Amino acid sequence: MPDALTPQALSPLELPIVFTPGAWQRAVMLEHSDHPENLLLDRLSNVLRAVFETRQAYPHESYVVFEFIQVASAAGPQPDTLLQLSLSLFHEPDQPDALLIALAGDHPHYQA
């Protein structure tokens, strides 16, 4: 792979998207729901939409913190909340480039 990545090569549609365990747990997973698969897909779709919008807004940045509204569980008493995540370009020798989603402030080391 080339050292300098073009904006086209960094398209969110062309790179794998990897969640850290903490980001997956907070942004996507559900604690309780009568229809967990539907809500899980909705929550995942919301995160991915925010990732694509963030990547389009900041195509040349290798690290961006973004916020999105996390949809609450229909069965839970908690309202929708604002969640901060970071989006960074993950590049490691002998690994494919990827977009890494983590909780804002975390500095994870991803291992495949």
The pLDDT value given to residue 9: 44
Question: What's the confidence (pLDDT) of residue 91?
Answer: 82
- What is the rounded distance in angstroms from the CA atom of residue 100 to the CA atom of residue 90? 6
**What is the per-residue pLDDT across 59-74, written as a single tens digit (0 to 9) for each?**
888 899 999 887 665 5
% of the chain surpassing 70 pLDDT: 70
Does residue 77 contact residue 52 with C-beta atoms inside 8 Å? no
Residue 76: pLDDT band (50, 70, 90) is: low
- Please say if the pLDDT value at position 80 is more than 80: no
In the chain, what are the domain boundaries?
A: 17-103
Q: What is the pLDDT of residue 31?
A: 67
Query: What pLDDT, on a 0 to 100 scale, did the predictor assign at position 13?
Result: 61
Q: What's this model's pTM, rounded to 2 decimal places?
A: 0.73
Gap between the Cα atoms of 93 and 54, Å rounded: 25
Question: What average pLDDT score do residues 48-69 get?
Answer: 89
Task: Report CA Rg, the chain.
Answer: 15
